[in-house]
């Protein structure tokens, strides 16, 4: 497995690649969910490259950029064992040579300012910009993303369509622990007690999904679920049911829905979602 630290190294390697190439963009500190993305990518292409870059453009000033967990050596070892062809781990100077304040950016209107975008202004602008840059740098045929970050996935899909990018965007169902908690690098911030409480989040999504399938009205379900979360010790950011295609509020005729939640447990912000057909 090649480890590439500069754009020059990446481009030299890319010229030598024969066959199709799939990209798995990550911020490192890899867990089994990331590695399952690599497995899926290998089914889509002849070669897989994984990017590891903690992107400062998607963190606000009060967020956890400095303490975001980094485990580069262990990440490379895991990726080599999984059969990745290369790792691209550029520096901030390589990615943003004129500095963050002078960087051109990409913003996907509408969807970028709701839900997580409302709670984290500028976050999806940072996501869209770095993903577009990685697409330009790596020139993959396909790219694989996890559905745990469902809003992010939809932002990337819309961006790729809007910019006519010749890259197939593939979403992979959320990888979960045995107790249902969605795997996330931020789960490491949870205390042992909080880690035992955290699976309540997904259990509640399952409960709402079952009630929606039974024909219950959305708003009363959400009101009850919000109370349950608060009683369980969560501090709610949002809990909502949206149309799956564009995350707009569903109309009565819409059947393909998704339940989305973001909530704090202690100091850790957890997100999750569950698709449901009404």
Quickly count: other Cβ atoms within 10 Å of residue 119's Cβ.
14
31, 34, 47, 123: which is the annotated catalytic residue?
34
Nearest to 147 by CA among 118, 182, 187: 182
Using an 8 Å Cβ cutoff, are 151 and 120 in contact? no
Using an 8 Å Cβ cutoff, are 126 and 48 in contact? no
Rounded (5°) CA angle 271-83-27:
30
Cβ contacts of residue 214 below 8 Å, gap of 6+? Answer: none
In the annotation, is 5 catalytic? Answer: no
Q: Tell me how long the chain is.
A: 278
Using an 8 Å Cβ cutoff, are 182 and 149 in contact? no
Nearest to 146 by CA among 128, 117, 169: 169
**In angstroms, how far apart are the furthest CA atoms of the chain?**
58
Give me the sign of the Cα torsion angle 49, 164, 170, 274: positive
Residues assigned a catalytic role: 34
């Amino acid at each position: 497995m090649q480890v590439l630290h500069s754009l020059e190294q990446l481009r030299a390697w890319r010229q030598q690649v024969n066959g199709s190439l799939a990209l798995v963009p990550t911020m490192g500190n890899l867990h089994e969910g990331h590695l399952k993305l690599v497995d899926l990518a290998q089914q889509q292409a002849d070669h897989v490259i994984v990017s590891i870059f903690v992107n400062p453009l998607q963190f606000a000033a009060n967020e956890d950029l400095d303490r975001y967990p980094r485990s580069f050596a262990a990440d490379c070892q895991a990726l080599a064992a999984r059969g990745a062809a290369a790792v691209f781990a550029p520096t901030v100077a390589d990615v943003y040579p004129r500095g963050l304040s002078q960087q051109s950016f990409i913003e996907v209107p509408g969807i970028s300012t709701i839900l997580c975008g409302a709670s984290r202004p500028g976050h999806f602008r940072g996501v869209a910009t770095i993903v577009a840059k990685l697409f330009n740098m790596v020139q993959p045929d396909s790219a694989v993303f996890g559905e745990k970050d469902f809003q992010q996935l939809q932002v990337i899909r819309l961006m790729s369509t809007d910019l006519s990018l010749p890259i197939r965007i593939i979403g992979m169902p959320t990888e979960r622990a045995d107790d249902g908690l969605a795997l996330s690098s931020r789960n490491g911030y949870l205390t042992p007690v909080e880690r035992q409480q955290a699976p309540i989040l997904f259990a509640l999504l399952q409960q709402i999904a079952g009630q929606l399938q039974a024909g219950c009205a959305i708003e009363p379900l959400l009101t009850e679920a919000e109370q349950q979360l608060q009683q369980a010790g969560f501090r709610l950011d949002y809990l909502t049911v949206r149309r799956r295609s564009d995350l707009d509020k569903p109309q009565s005729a819409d059947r393909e829905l998704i339940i989305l939640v973001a909530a704090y447990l202690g100091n850790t912000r957890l997100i999750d979602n569950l698709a449901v057909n009404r």
